[in-house]
Amino acid sequence: MSPLAIFHRLAHDTYSSLLLSMVPLSLFPSDKCSILLVIYDFNALFNLDFVVNVFSSVERPNLLSFSVLKLGVLSFTSSLKSQVRSFKASTSEDTITRISLWWEQARAVVAVPVFKFLVALCLIMSVMLFVEMMYMGLVVAYIKLFKRKPEKVYKWEAMEEDDVECGSESFPMVLVQIPMYNEKEVCEQSIAAACKISWPSNRIIIQVLDDSTDPASKELVKKECERWSKEGVNITFEIRDNRKGYKAGALREGMKHSYVKQCDYVAIFDADFQPEPDFLFRTVPFLIHNPKLALVQGRWEFVNAGQCMMTRLQEMSLSYHFMVEQQVGSSTFAFFGFNGTAGVWRISALNESGGWNDQTTVEDMDLAVRATLRGWKLLYLDDLKVKSELPCSFNALRSQQHRWTCGPANLFRKMAGKIIRSENVSLWKKLYMLYSFFFMRKLVAHVLSFCFYCVILPATVLFPEVTVPKWAAFYLPSLITLLIALGRLRSIHLLAFWVLFENAMSLVRTKALVMGLFETGRVQEWVVTEKLGDGLKTKLIAQAPEEHHVRFRDRVHLLELLVGAYLLFCGWYDIIYGKQTLFLYLLFQSMGFFVVGFGYVGKYVAASSS
Helix, strand, coil percentages in the chain from 3-state DSSP, rounded to 5? 65, 10, 25
The Cα 334–Cα 328 span in angstroms is 9
Q: In what order do the strands lie in the sheet with 174-180?
A: 235-239, 204-210, 174-180, 265-268, 343-346, 293-302, 377-388
The Cα 377–Cα 285 span in angstroms is 15
| Active site annotation includes 41 | no
The single-letter code of the amino acid at 91 is T
The Cα 361–Cα 527 span in angstroms is 10
> Residue 35: which residues within 8 A CB-CB, separation 6 or more?
none
The Cα 459–Cα 571 span in angstroms is 10
The Cα 177–Cα 180 span in angstroms is 10
> Residue 359: which residues within 8 A CB-CB, separation 6 or more?
524
Q: What is the CA radius of gyration of the chain?
A: 37
Label residue 414 exposed, middle or buried (CB < 10 Å: 0-12, 13-18, 19+).
middle
The Cα 301–Cα 388 span in angstroms is 6
DSSP 325-370: IIHHHHHHHS-----SSSEEEEHHHHHHTTS---SSS-HHHHHHHH
3-state secondary structure at position 466: coil
> β-strand 265-268 against 174-180: which pairing, if any?
parallel
The Cα 200–Cα 231 span in angstroms is 14
Helices (H) and strands (E) in the chain, counts: 25, 7
The Cα 414–Cα 356 span in angstroms is 16
Q: Looking at the DSSP assignment, which residues form a beta bridge with residue 176?
A: 206, 267
3-state secondary structure at position 300: strand
The Cα 258–Cα 255 span in angstroms is 8
Per annotation, catalytic residue among 210, 272, 364, 574: 364
List the one residue out of 528, 601, 503, 596 whose CA is nearest residue 557: 596
Cα atoms in the Cβ-side hemisphere of radius 13 Å centred on 387: 13
Cα atoms in the Cβ-side hemisphere of radius 13 Å centred on 579: 5
> DSSP label at 343?
E
The Cα 196–Cα 88 span in angstroms is 87
DSSP element (H, E) containing 378:
strand 377-388
The Cα 242–Cα 181 span in angstroms is 12
| Active site annotation includes 364 | yes
**What crossing angle do the helices spanning 309-320 and 476-485 adopt, rounded to 10°?**
90
Per annotation, catalytic residue among 210, 211, 366, 574: 211
Residue 589: CB atoms within 10 A of its CB come to 24
List the one residue out of 148, 134, 209 whose CA is nearest residue 175: 209
The answer to whether 1 and 90 are in contact (CB under 8 A) is yes
Q: Which residues are catalytic?
A: 211, 364
